Amino acid sequence: MAEQPQAIYLKDYQVPAYLVDATTLRFELADDQTRVRSTLTMRRNPDAPSAPAPLELHGHESLELCRLAIDGQDLAATDYQREGELLSIAEVPASFVLECTTRIHPQTNTALEGLYLSGGMYCTQCEAEGFRRITFYMDRPDVMSVFTTTVEADKARFPVLLSNGNPVDSGEQGGRHWVTWEDPFPKPAYLFALVAGDLQHIERPYKTASGREVALRIFAEPKDLDKLDHAMDSLVNAMRWDEDVYGREYDLDIYMIVAVDFFNMGAMENKGLNIFNTSCVLASPQTTTDAAYQRVEGVVAHEYFHNWSGNRVTCRDWFQLSLKEGFTVFRDAEFSADINSRTVKRIEDVTLLRTAQFAEDAGPMAHPVRPASYIEISNFYTLTVYEKGAEVVRMLHTLLGPELFRQGSDLYFERHDGQAVTTDDFVCAMEAVSGRDLTQFRRWYSQAGTPTLRVTDDYDAATQRYRLHVEQLLPQTPDKLEKLPLHIPLSVGLLDERGADTELDGGATTVVLELTEQRQSFAFEGIKARPVPSLLRGFSAPVRLQYAYSRDALVFLMRHDSDGFNRWDAGQQLAVEIMQGLMADYRQGRALQLDQALVDAYAAVLDDETLDPAMVAKVLSLPSEAYLSELSECIDVDAIHAARNFVRAELARALEPALLRRYEALAPRCDYAPSADQVAQRSLRNLCLSYLMALEAPAHLVRARAQYDGCDNMTERQAALSLIAHSGFEVDAAAVLEDFYQRYENETLVVNQWLAVQACDPKPGALARIQALMEHAAFDLRNPNKVRSLISTFCAMNAVNFHDASGAGYAFLADRIIEMNRLNPQVASRLLTPLTRWRKYDEARQALMQAQLRRIQGSGELSRDVYEVVSKSLN
Ligand code: PHE
Ligand code: ZN
């Protein structure tokens, strides 16, 4: 048996023994193989401990080494050692030139790391450790080098040859051509990129704030050229925003984005040459929903923002991943909030955090924002590092205020430009500008788990004093470390009996209480009557809040809270409480009955024409099954599904005339645009239709079908499609699915939506339908987008079927993971997520899920990715 993969620890970090001053690469792309020649100008690191150390280069097992030479002298096989992913040379001069030639096989690379083929084009993915699949190198982010890259390929089939930086030379000979690119900014190997293909592009000139001219180019396959304008608009907006809000300008003459079909993640910020999953860059009204338009905007901005938060200042080691990801997610969230609706964006982000990140933080893969160890770093591109990491940066922003935060960010970029640094360096910059001691705040980076805030209050009419008592509870996590109290900003407001904000400190209506102890009390003086507290406004910290609101108080907050986020959240809490009661009734076999309070509250919101329709849609959206699951001690998928469907249908019955009225009134009056108002209107209109369809009435089916047939955009069509497809009208469901496929057969991304709609159909028999779809021409196990659309959607969004008591869903997933483990370890490992949550289910399901985890564990040679998640889950 192969050796068990070993963990790597943050505490073992050592500075690199050598540095790479310059990297020259030559790629010769051919059908059966690619030859990579590298020339590295290297020297001993003056900051390393003085005794000369062996030179250690990383190289994946799949690398074929053709030649290795130092200062022109070929090394013999006995001059170096290859063991696992390391190649070591015992003795090297203080400074030297290392030459290396490797042979690689992009055409059989299904892992999609390193150099691979996507459709007919070559592309690379080097973060985190993909460069070692290209050549032997010091593949660690604290080794930064300038790169000069020559790409040579067949001219007819690969007319476009790209790499980082600027093109400086080119030529051709006998049907082949080559281009040399030079990137003047030193960068770690994970930011290297190369693309070769038959691509076309759109171009737009951009002038930076200081007057530099930049050419913006977005490349895609010719058939997708008409779907690039939205990404280009988003890029220009992001560049302007980063100049205005952070004072950051772009630094090269060209900024390129390339769209590829086969990609493990959303997109990658390679210096000057971003590579994007087509799903995060292509957009057109006929093929793309509003939600996808917004995702494109957000991801384009995210990758652009990385040019400073990630590239100019990068990570010292992969434990610091949140240094770039948490900060950049915070930046892109603020960008989207400024461009669209701030409150809606916040609601969406908090929904993701509370549903998926909280679940991760409560499971066997829980880890701090700055992990202390890992087996496979690819497993740590997580909601915790990204989303919770962004919340940690947001808390700094809240504690310092916008001006000091901006000064801190300026200082951070100024101090560390061109360096590879740590999350602590970021906090130090914030400390330096604010004069605050953030020692305790740093625990957010090192402690895993979601804190709970238990809040109680009292009011004394005689002294007009209102007090809040807050206790922080820190959960046990797999690392078994002792938890110390966190420094938590708790934003609060107090509503008087009319619902108006009370003036607190110096006239402010929201104050930030700073919790630093396990138990703390805060007094408010001069409060004329017992207020209703609005706690954790804007979700000021990533915590679970407990306060015993009455249903009346929640309705009151829904109506009056000046904080839009909390108005929405009060409605969610009310709905959760009601559904939890109904779940208990369902389990006891009692008749279900809906509390009129929810009907009245929803009716009031639905009738309020002064509210932003996007907010109305958010407030009237019931908490998802996934969120109800996360809140459950022991998840009862059937009770959740039954209770939620019951509430939906009851609301629809009670509110039918009002829903219909708003549905009709929101009928589109002009051509599609992804503008904020139109997006808002469509979201509410589709929500109204979804309630109406819950009534399973033929008249509403006709309405949905009319929307499907009559609309001019994918947002309306896809909403109607999924409502009809999931309805009990089976003949109509089959017909609309067939029609949709016929229309969009040639649009891969739309076909993926078609797969996803079927994958989350809650009707019985889903597994058989999924298995049939796996045989369909539209499916391809090698394409991660298709795996996500069909398999991940089924497992994550179709709980009643996936968790079928027979265990067939679990066995199906385990089979897919065993297959994917060989093809694409990163995707295989992500597919494991639902099985890692086995402790949250009843005993019978726990046993079935564990059995499948064990079956995977014993299925043969596991990738590090799958090994780590399976073994931690069974621990
Ligand atoms: N660094 C990318 C981002 O967040 C994500 C990514 C990680 C892409 C690893 C590919 C591989 O923007
Ligand atoms: Zn990122």
DSSP 8-state symbol, 777: T
Measured by CA distance, the residue closest to atom 2 of ligand 1 is: 268
Q: Which atom of ligand 1 is nearest to the CA of 269?
A: 12
Going by their DSSP bridges, the two strands 160-163 and 194-197 should be labelled as antiparallel
Measured by CA distance, the residue closest to atom 12 of ligand 1 is: 268
Measured by CA distance, the residue closest to atom 8 of ligand 1 is: 268
Residues 663, 723: Cα–Cα separation, whole Å: 15
For ligand 1, mutation pick of 116, 125, 127, 257 (most atoms within 8 Å of CB): 127
127 in ligand 1 pocket by Cβ < 6 Å? yes
DSSP 8-state symbol, 165: S
Is the complex ipTM higher than 0.85? yes
Residues 790, 597: Cα–Cα separation, whole Å: 38
For ligand 1, mutation pick of 118, 123, 257, 269 (most atoms within 8 Å of CB): 269
Say what the pLDDT of residue 52 is. Answer: 86
Distance 165 CA to ligand 1 centre (A): 19
Distance 269 CA to ligand 2 centre (A): 7
302 in ligand 1 pocket by Cβ < 6 Å? yes
Residue type for 835, please?
A: L
Residues 81, 807: Cα–Cα separation, whole Å: 48
Helix (H/G/I), strand (E/B), else coil: 571: helix
Which tokens hold the place of 129? 């450790």
Say what the pLDDT of residue 505 is. Answer: 81
Q: Which ligand is nearest to the CA of 190?
A: 1
Q: Is the pLDDT of residue 3 over 80?
A: no
Q: Is the pLDDT of residue 95 over 90?
A: yes
741-775 pLDDT, tens digit per residue, is 999 999 999 999 999 999 999 999 999 999 999 99
Q: Which ligand is nearest to the CA of 124?
A: 1
125 in ligand 1 pocket by Cβ < 6 Å? yes
656-709 pLDDT, tens digit per residue, is 999 999 999 999 999 999 999 999 999 999 999 999 999 999 999 999 999 999
303 in ligand 1 pocket by Cβ < 6 Å? yes
Q: Which atom of ligand 1 is nearest to the CA of 299?
A: 12
Q: Which atom of ligand 1 is nearest to the CA of 302?
A: 12
Q: Is the pLDDT of residue 468 over 90?
A: yes
Q: Which atom of ligand 1 is nearest to the CA of 128?
A: 9
381 in ligand 1 pocket by Cβ < 6 Å? yes
Distance 473 CA to ligand 2 centre (A): 31
DSSP 8-state symbol, 189: G
53-93 pLDDT, tens digit per residue, is 999 999 999 999 999 999 999 999 999 999 999 999 999 99
Q: Which ligand is nearest to the CA of 111?
A: 1
For ligand 1, mutation pick of 263, 380, 381 (most atoms within 8 Å of CB): 381
Measured by CA distance, the residue closest to atom 5 of ligand 1 is: 268
Q: Which ligand is nearest to the CA of 332?
A: 2
Residue 1: which pLDDT band, with cuts at 50, 70 and 90? very low
Residue 482's contacts (CB-CB under 8 Å, 6 or more residues apart) are none
Distance 812 CA to ligand 2 centre (A): 32
311 in ligand 1 pocket by Cβ < 6 Å? no
265 in ligand 1 pocket by Cβ < 6 Å? yes
Residue type for 180, please?
A: T
Distance 266 CA to ligand 1 centre (A): 7
Measured by CA distance, the residue closest to atom 1 of ligand 1 is: 268
Measured by CA distance, the residue closest to atom 7 of ligand 1 is: 127
Distance 797 CA to ligand 2 centre (A): 25
Residues 260, 266: Cα–Cα separation, whole Å: 10
DSSP 396-407: HHHHH-HHHHHH
CB contact at 8 A, 424 and 343: no
Q: Is the pLDDT of residue 356 over 90?
A: yes
Q: Which atom of ligand 1 is nearest to the CA of 381?
A: 7
Residues 505, 526: Cα–Cα separation, whole Å: 11
268 in ligand 1 pocket by Cβ < 6 Å? yes
Distance 828 CA to ligand 2 centre (A): 21
194-231 pLDDT, tens digit per residue, is 999 999 999 999 999 999 999 999 999 999 999 999 99
* Cβ-based neighbour number of residue 97 at 10 Å: 15
- Tell me, yes or no, if 113 is annotated catalytic: no
Give, rounded to a whole angstrom, the gap between the first and last alpha carbons of the chain.
Answer: 20
Reference 485, options 514, 511, 456, 510; nearest CA is: 514
Q: Which ligand is nearest to the CA of 382?
A: 1
Say what the pLDDT of residue 585 is. Answer: 98
Measured by CA distance, the residue closest to atom 9 of ligand 1 is: 127
269 in ligand 1 pocket by Cβ < 6 Å? yes
Residues 436, 428: Cα–Cα separation, whole Å: 10
Q: Which ligand is nearest to the CA of 329?
A: 2
Q: Is the pLDDT of residue 562 over 90?
A: yes
Distance 277 CA to ligand 2 centre (A): 13
Q: Which atom of ligand 1 is nearest to the CA of 303?
A: 12
Percentage of the chain exceeding pLDDT 90: 99
Torsion angle in degrees (nearest 10) through CA of 306, 307, 310, 312: -160
For ligand 1, mutation pick of 265, 270, 311 (most atoms within 8 Å of CB): 265
Distance 209 CA to ligand 2 centre (A): 24
Which tokens hold the place of 837? 């949550």
Distance 698 CA to ligand 2 centre (A): 46
Distance 794 CA to ligand 2 centre (A): 26
Q: Is the pLDDT of residue 652 over 60?
A: yes
Residues 209, 462: Cα–Cα separation, whole Å: 59
Phi-psi region of 333 (alpha: psi -120 to 50; beta: other; left: phi over 0): alpha
Measured by CA distance, the residue closest to atom 6 of ligand 1 is: 268
Going by their DSSP bridges, the two strands 194-197 and 200-207 should be labelled as unpaired
325 in ligand 1 pocket by Cβ < 6 Å? yes
Residue ranges and CATH numbers for the domains of the chain are 1-103+117-154 (2.60.40.1730), 313-446 (1.10.390.10), 452-560 (2.60.40.1840)
Q: Which of 303, 360, 391, 431 is catalytic?
A: 303
For ligand 1, mutation pick of 112, 118, 268 (most atoms within 8 Å of CB): 268
Reference 803, options 824, 834, 826, 773; nearest CA is: 834
Q: Which atom of ligand 1 is nearest to the CA of 386?
A: 4
Measured by CA distance, the residue closest to atom 3 of ligand 1 is: 268
Q: Is the pLDDT of residue 233 over 80?
A: yes
**Ramachandran angles phi, psi of 257, nearest 5°:** -125, 135
Residues 279, 261: Cα–Cα separation, whole Å: 8
Q: Is the pLDDT of residue 796 over 80?
A: yes
Model-wide pTM > 0.90: yes
Residue 515's contacts (CB-CB under 8 Å, 6 or more residues apart) are 453, 470, 472, 485, 486, 487, 488, 489, 490
Average pLDDT score over residue span 822-828: 98
Say what the pLDDT of residue 103 is. Answer: 98
Distance 190 CA to ligand 1 centre (A): 10
Residue 266: which pLDDT band, with cuts at 50, 70 and 90? very high
Mean pLDDT (the chain, rounded): 98
CB contact at 8 A, 432 and 478: no
Measured by CA distance, the residue closest to atom 11 of ligand 1 is: 127
Distance 606 CA to ligand 2 centre (A): 38
Q: Which ligand is nearest to the CA of 269?
A: 1
Write b or e for each residue in 661-687: b if 16 or more Cβ atoms lie within 10 A of its Cβ, otherwise e: ebbeebebeeebebeeebbbbbbbbbb
Q: Which atom of ligand 1 is nearest to the CA of 325?
A: 4
